[in-house]
Structures are given as C-alpha cells and as structure tokens.
Copies of this chain bind each other. A is one copy, B any other.
C-alpha cells in the first residue's frame, strides 16, 4: 500500500529541510567552496543521490538559503513598519540588527562574505546582488524614518546611519568575543535617536 500523497509531501518537506539545514551549517562553518555535496549528504545522513532528488545541485541549496535570508530580512522590516514613532522604529532596527549579529556572528559573516563576492564570479554574483538589493530596500525604508524624524538632509543622514550600523555589525562578526554591545548601542542611540542631533 502506498503512502498517501500528504504523507509523501511531509516526508519531502522534512527531507528538504534537513538537507538545507545540513548545507547551511556546513556553508556557514566552512564556506561554500570548501563544502562538497558529499559533505552535505553525509551531514544530512542521506545518500548523494537523494540530495539531487530534492535540489538541482549545490547552487540551488545556496539560492534557497539566500531566499530564506532575504525573507527574514523582509519580515523584520515589516515588523518595524508596524511600530508607531520613528524613534522607536529606529531603536527597533538597531536593537534587532545588533542582537541578531551578536547571537550568530558567523551567520551574518557568511552573508557578508557572499555580499562581497567579486563582480566577475559568474557562479555566485547573483546571490550577492540579491542580498545587496534587499539592503538597498531597507535603506529606503530607513530614509523614510529619518524624514519623519525631521532630519534636514534625511538621505545623507540615513546613509551615514546605515554605514555606522553596518560597520558595527561587521565589527561584531569580526571580533565576536570582545564586542561590548551595550556600550556601542548606547553610542548609536545617542547619536541618531536623540532629537537634539538634528
């Protein structure tokens, strides 16, 4: 007697997830190039053949990861949009970004690594571009916040803000042990979330 289609679908979903989880772990730990399909299959506890049953190849695994990542980023932004005052929005963004990186610095590091892919690497540049585009969308949203805050040159101020926040995230993922996040949060709050600064 065959399994029901629902049961099969459930198995497929579980398998896809477990493969993707294995791939994410290894990509993040060792990097994309240093991870082979064999590694992933082994980590997921399945055969290489089965992996190809679920994903076209290594690149599709990365694509799926990046899609999920962008999905999370969008979700965080949408959450922020529901907040009432612009100051609170900004605080939420800052807290969210910093805590997120602080909790899993190697994850942020992985995507930053991907984002800084050279332009002429034809295999991977699309994922880099995709992440950069999403960052740009987030930047537009932050511009709106600065406008609401009444900043004189909202766009430039927002750019400076984004640079600072990105820089903090870069520093955290580079020196994860030693980063005093509370102190740094205080400084960025003081600079950008205090009405006196405009």
Which chain A residues have a beta carbon within 8 Å of chain B's beta carbons? 2, 27-31, 33-34, 47, 106, 109-110, 112-113, 115-124, 132, 135-136, 153, 156-157, 159-160, 162-168, 170-171, 173-175, 179-180, 183-184, 187-188, 191
Contact = CB atoms under 8 A, between A and B. Distances in A.
A31 B156 contact: no
A110 B175 CA distance: 19
Count the copies. Answer: 4
Contact of A113 (B117, B123, B174): B117
Nearest to A131: B174
B180 A171 contact: no
A49 to B, nearest CB: 8
Contacts of A110: 116, 118
Contact of A118 (B28, B157, B160, B163): B28
Nearest to A47: B2
A170 B171 contact: no
A33 B30 contact: no
B174 A167 contact: no
Among A106, A136, A159, A165, the one with the most B-chain Cβ atoms within 10 Å of its Cβ is A159
A186 B87 CA distance: 24
Given A163-B168, A163-B184, A164-B167, A118 B132 contact: no
A153 to B, nearest CB: 8
